[in-house]
C-alpha cells in the first residue's frame, strides 16, 4: 500500500465524526449561498467584458473578496486578481482558479439578464457574451471564497484564489491569460502545491462532475501558411504559379497527417484550416495565398511531430508545384494534464460534494484550456461540472461559443461544495491533520 493511501486510511478511521461534520458544514453553507451565486452569475452575465479588458468585472469580484478580509492583489496579468486566505493551522498552499473573460458573440437566448453589451475588438465594434460559462466559474469561486473564509480557523494551510483574465486568448499580439499569470509569479510567494479548476459544460446534467486522469484536454496551436506563387492573367495560368491551387493541395494533404501519419491509438489529432484568403479579382491569378488554422493534440510528442509534418507537407507540396510556402506555428495552450495520483486521491471529495452517483469518469476532448500552464509549476486537477437542465437531451445542448449557449445556474452550489471539499481534504491529508470520509454524509 502506498504511503499516502496508508495515511488516508488511518485518518479516515480516526476522524469519522469530524469528517461528517465538515462535509455537513460545507453543504449547509454552500446551499445557503445559492441565491447569491445566481445573483452574482447573472450580474456578470449581463455585464461581460472581452479578454484583457475585464476592468469592471475585476472591480466587482475584488470588492467581494476584500469584504471577506482576504489579501487581494489586482492588476495581475493586466486585469486578473489573486486573493490569499491564510488558514488557522499550518498546511499546504492550494490554488483555485476561475476565468473571467467573455467572447465576441451576439447572444440569442431570450433571458431576462441577456447581454446587450458591445465593445471594441481589434478595431471593430462587436457584441459581447459569456458564451462559455466563465460568469458561472467566477460566481462559484466567489462563493467558495466566502465559505472558506468563514471556516478559516479550521483550515490547515493557505488558499490562493486565481481570477484569471484572457483565457480565450488575448487580442492581437498582447500577452495575457494563464501564461502571463505564471510568468508574473502567481505560483510563488507562497509557492503553490496544487491547483484545482472547474469548467461548466452545457451538455453535462446540472449538479454532476465529470473528470479524466492524465491527458484531459488538447493542446492548441495556431498555424499560418503563406504560399507565394507568381501572378498572371486569369486567362493564362501557364504564365504564372497559382497559389490558390497550391493551397488547396496543401489543405487536402494536411489531412493525410491525421489519417495516414499519426498513431491515433495514442491520442487524437485534429488539423483544421479555418481561414483561406487570396486574390482581389476574378480574372487575376494572385501572387500569394494565406491559410490559417488550428492544431489539437493530446500528447506532447505527437504535438511536436504534427508541427514537423505540417511544415514538411506545406513546403514540399509548394515546391513540387513551383511555389514557396512559409509556415509559422504558435502554441496557445499545452495539453491539460491531470496528475493521476492526485485525481485518485481527490475523486472521493467530489463524491462527498455531489453524491457518488453524480461523479463519473469520461473520455478526453479536443477543446483546449490555458489552465494547462499552471501544470508547469504544480500538480493540477481540472474537471467539468454540469449546466444542462434536467430532463433535456445531451445531444441537443447548445454548444459553447455560440449565440444559443445556455446553462442552468440552479446548482452552482455544487461547484462551491466541490471547491471547499477539495481544499479541506487535500489540506488535511497533506498536513496530517485529518481527512473527511467521503462515503458518509
Residue 251 in contact with residue 273, Cβ under 8 Å?
yes
Q: How far apart are CA 20 and CA 15, in angstroms?
A: 9
Instruction: Say whether 167 is catalytic.
Output: yes
Cα(364)–Cα(215) distance, integer angstroms? 7
Q: Do residues 251 and 325 lie in contact, with contact meaning Cβ atoms separated by under 8 Å?
A: no
Q: Check if 351 is active-site.
A: no
> What's the rounded Cα separation, in Å, for the pair 166 and 134?
11
Active-site choice (167, 205, 221, 413): 167
Asked if residues 418 and 350 have their Cβ atoms less than 8 Å apart, the reply is yes
Query: Coil, helix or strand for 19?
Result: helix
* Cβ count within 10 A of residue 311: 17
C-alpha cell at 204: 453535462
The values of phi and psi at residue 423, to 5°, are -65, -55
Q: Which of 49, 54, 99, 101 is catalytic?
A: 101
Smallest Cα–Cα separation from 30: which of 346, 421, 386, 347?
421
CB-CB contact of 194 with 417 (8 Å): no
The residues that are catalytic are 101, 167
Amino acid at each position: 500500500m502506498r504511503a499516502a493511501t496508508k495515511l488516508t486510511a488511518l485518518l479516515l478511521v480516526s476522524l469519522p465524526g469530524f469528517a461528517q461534520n465538515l462535509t455537513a458544514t460545507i453543504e449547509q453553507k454552500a446551499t445557503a449561498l445559492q441565491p447569491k451565486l445566481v445573483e452574482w452569475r447573472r450580474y456578470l452575465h449581463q455585464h461581460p467584458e472581452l479578454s484583457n479588458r475585464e476592468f469592471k468585472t475585476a472591480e466587482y469580484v475584488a470588492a467581494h473578496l476584500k469584504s471577506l478580509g482576504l489579501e487581494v492583489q489586482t492588476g495581475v496579468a493586466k486585469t486578473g486578481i489573486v486573493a490569499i486566505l491564510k488558514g488557522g493551522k499550518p498546511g499546504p498552499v492550494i490554488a483555485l482558479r476561475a476565468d473571467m473573460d467573455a467572447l465576441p458573440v451576439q447572444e440569442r437566448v431570450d433571458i431576462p439578464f441577456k447581454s446587450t453589451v458591445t465593445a471594441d475588438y481589434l478595431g471593430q465594434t462587436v457584441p459581447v457574451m459569456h458564451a462559455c460559462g466563465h460568469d458561472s466559474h467566477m460566481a462559484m469561486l466567489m462563493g467558495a471564497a466566502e465559505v472558506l473564509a468563514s471556516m478559516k480557523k479550521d483550515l490547515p494551510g493557505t488558499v490562493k484564489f486565481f481570477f484569471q483574465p484572457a483565457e480565450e486568448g488575448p487580442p492581437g499580439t498582447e500577452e495575457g491569460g494563464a501564461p502571463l499569470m505564471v510568468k508574473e509569479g502567481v505560483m510563488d510567494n507562497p509557492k503553490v502545491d496544487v491547483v484545482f479548476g472547474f469548467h461548466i459544460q452545457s451538455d453535462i446534467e446540472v449538479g454532476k462532475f465529470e473528470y479524466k486522469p492524465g491527458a484531459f484536454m488538447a493542446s492548441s496551436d495556431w498555424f499560418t501558411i503563406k504560399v507565394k506563387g507568381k501572378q498572371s492573367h486569369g486567362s493564362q495560368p501557364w504564365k504564372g504559379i497559382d497559389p490558390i491551387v497550391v493551397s488547396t493541395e496543401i489543405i487536402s494533404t494536411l489531412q493525410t497527417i491525421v489519417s495516414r501519419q499519426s498513431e491515433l491509438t495514442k491520442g487524437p489529432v485534429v488539423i483544421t484550416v479555418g481561414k483561406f484568403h487570396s486574390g482581389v479579382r476574378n480574372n487575376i491569378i494572385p501572387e500569394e495565398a494565406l491559410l490559417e488554422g488550428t492544431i489539437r493534440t493530446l500528447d506532447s510528442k505527437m504535438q511536436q511531430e504534427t508541427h514537423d509534418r505540417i511544415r514538411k507537407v506545406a513546403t514540399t507540396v509548394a515546391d513540387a508545384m513551383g511555389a514557396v510556402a512559409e509556415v509559422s506555428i504558435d502554441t496557445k495552450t499545452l495539453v491539460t494534464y491531470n496528475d493521476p495520483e492526485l485525481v485518485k486521491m481527490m475523486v472521493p471529495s467530489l463524491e462527498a460534494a455531489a453524491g457518488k452517483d453524480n461523479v463519473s469518469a469520461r473520455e478526453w476532448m479536443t477543446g483546449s484550456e490555458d489552465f494547462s500552464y499552471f501544470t508547469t509549476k504544480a500538480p493540477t486537477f481540472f474537471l467539468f461540472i454540469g449546466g444542462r437542465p434536467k430532463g433535456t437531451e445531451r445531444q441537443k445542448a447548445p454548444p459553447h461559443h455560440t449565440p444559443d449557449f445556455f446553462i442552468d445556474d440552479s446548482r452552482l452550489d455544487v461547484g462551491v461544495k466541490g471547491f471547499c471539499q477539495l481544499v479541506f481534504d487535500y489540506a488535511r491529508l497533506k498536513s496530517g491533520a485529518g481527512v473527511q470520509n467521503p462515503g458518509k454524509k
